[in-house]
Amino acid sequence: MKPLNEYKKIVILTGAGISAESGISTFRDSQGLWEQHKIEDVATPEAFEKDPLLVWKFYSMRRLQAAKAKPNLAHLALIQFAKAHPDVHLITQNVDALHLRADTTHSLPPICMHGSLHESSCSNCGIVYLDDYAYFNELGDYAPQETELCDSTQRSHQHYLHHYNLEYRNFIPLSPCCKVMIRPHIVWFGEMPQHMEKIYHQISHCDLFVSIGTSGVVYPAASFLAGAKAAGAHTVCLNKEPIPQAAFIDEFIEGSATDIVPRFFRI
Ligand code: NAD
C-alpha cells in the first residue's frame, strides 16, 4: 500500500465496532439480543406498529446510553487525519453521534446513512425534528423554531445529556405537523438507508476505501467494499475479527479500534 498522503480521495465506512470501546454495545456481539431485546421487536417498522411504546422506550434507553458515552481514540484519530488530508469522506452506519461529537472543528462531517438517535420524525409525513421536541413538547416548555429543525449539530452535548437525564420519559409525543405519533429518525431493518446517491458517488470516485468496525452483514453497507474494489480503489478493513467480504479486501488489519485506527491513520 502507498503512503496515505498519496491517495487522492479517501472514503471511510464505520460501523458499531468503532464505538464499542466507548461503551456502546454492538449488535453482532450480543448473541442475537440487543440490550435484551430481539432485533425484530425493537428495530423494524412492524415492531413500531405492533408495540410503539416498547420501541420508544428502547430508543430512549439508547439515547441516554449514547449521550453518556464519549468519543474514543479511534473517532478522534479520524478527525486528526481529516484535518491534514484534503479529500476524506466519512460514511457511518452508527446513530450514536460520536463522530459528530469528536469533530469540534467540523473537519469530517459524517454521512449518517442509518439516521441519528438525536432526531425523530413524523410517522406520517416524515418531517424530521430534533429530539428536544419529543422530550419537551409534552411539558409545554419547549417549541422548536423553524431554523432548529434537522440541525442537531447546533446542539451541544451537555444540552442533550442534561435533558436526557432530566426528561428520560416513556411517552410518545404527537408530531406538530400531522398530530400522529413521532418515531425515532432511525433507518430500521427493512427500510431504505439515507443519502445513498451521495454515498455511491463517493465510493465510485475514491482511490482508498477503509472499512472500520463493521460486520459486513448489514446491506447495503455490506456491498460498499465490493463497490470500491470494482471502482479500482485500494481496500482496507480494520476490524476485531474477519468479515465475509475477504475477496474484496486488499489489506485486513485485525484488532481493537482504539489501537489499530490511530496506528493506521497516523500521519
Ligand atoms: P455489527 O454489530 O453488526 O458489527 C460490529 C463489528 O465490529 C463486528 O464485526 C465486531 O467484530 C467488530 N467489533 C466489535 N468491537 C470492536 C472493537 N473494539 N474494535 C474493532 N472492531 C470491533 O455492527 P454494524 O456492522 O455496524 O451493523 C449493525 C447495525 O446496527 C448497523 O445498522 C448500525 O447502525 C446499528 N448499530 C449502531 C450502533 C451505534 O450507533 N453505535 C450500535 C449497534 C448497532
From residue 171, give the alpha-carbon distance in Å to each of 20, 139, 168, 229, 259.
29, 11, 10, 46, 40
- Nearest alpha carbon, ligand 1 atom 7: 17
CATH number of the domain bearing residue 258: 3.40.50.1220
Q: Is 21 in the pocket of ligand 1 (CB under 6 A)?
A: yes
Nearest Cα residue to 20 out of 239, 216, 243, 257? 257
Domain end among 152, 167, 186: 186
How remote is the CA of residue 185 from the centroid of ligand 1, in Å? 19
178 and 206: one domain?
no
207 and 171: one domain?
no
53 and 75: one domain?
no
Q: Which residues are catalytic?
A: 114
From residue 31, give the alpha-carbon distance in Å to each of 12, 13, 27, 44, 211.
27, 24, 8, 18, 23
127 and 214: one domain?
no
How remote is the CA of residue 71 from the centroid of ligand 1, in Å? 15
Domain end among 186, 203, 218: 186
Q: Is 17 in the pocket of ligand 1 (CB under 6 A)?
A: yes
- Nearest alpha carbon, ligand 1 atom 26: 15
1 and 56: one domain?
no
Domains held by the chain: number:
2
1 and 86: one domain?
yes
Q: Is the model's pLDDT at 201 over the cut of 50?
A: yes
Residues 173-200, mean pLDDT to the nearest whole number: 89
Q: Is 239 in the pocket of ligand 1 (CB under 6 A)?
A: yes
Burial of 18 (0-12, 13-18, 19+ CB in 10 A): buried
162 and 260: one domain?
no
15 and 93: one domain?
yes
Residues 138-142, mean pLDDT to the nearest whole number: 37
CATH number of the domain bearing residue 145: 3.30.1600.10
User: Which ligand 1 atom sits nearest the alpha carbon of residue 74?
Assistant: 19
Domain end among 186, 203, 235: 186
Q: Which domain holds residue 215?
A: 1-24+71-114+193-267
pLDDT tens digits, 48-77: 999 998 898 888 888 778 877 889 999 999
Predicted model pTM: 0.88
User: Which ligand 1 atom sits nearest the alpha carbon of residue 221?
Assistant: 25
Burial of 49 (0-12, 13-18, 19+ CB in 10 A): exposed
Q: Is 214 in the pocket of ligand 1 (CB under 6 A)?
A: yes
pLDDT tens digits, 229-257: 999 999 999 999 999 999 999 999 999 99
246 and 137: one domain?
no
User: Which ligand 1 atom sits nearest the alpha carbon of residue 218?
Assistant: 27
pLDDT tens digits, 206-231: 999 999 999 999 899 999 999 999 99
Q: Extract the C-alpha cell encoding 65.
A: 446510553
127 and 57: one domain?
yes
pLDDT (0 to 100) of residue 173: 72
77 and 120: one domain?
no
134 and 177: one domain?
yes
CA torsion, ordered 256, 259, 261, 265, to nearest 10 deg: -160
Q: Is 19 in the pocket of ligand 1 (CB under 6 A)?
A: yes
Q: Is 26 in the pocket of ligand 1 (CB under 6 A)?
A: yes
- Nearest alpha carbon, ligand 1 atom 37: 94
How remote is the CA of residue 14 from the centroid of ligand 1, in Å? 8
How remote is the CA of residue 210 from the centroid of ligand 1, in Å? 15
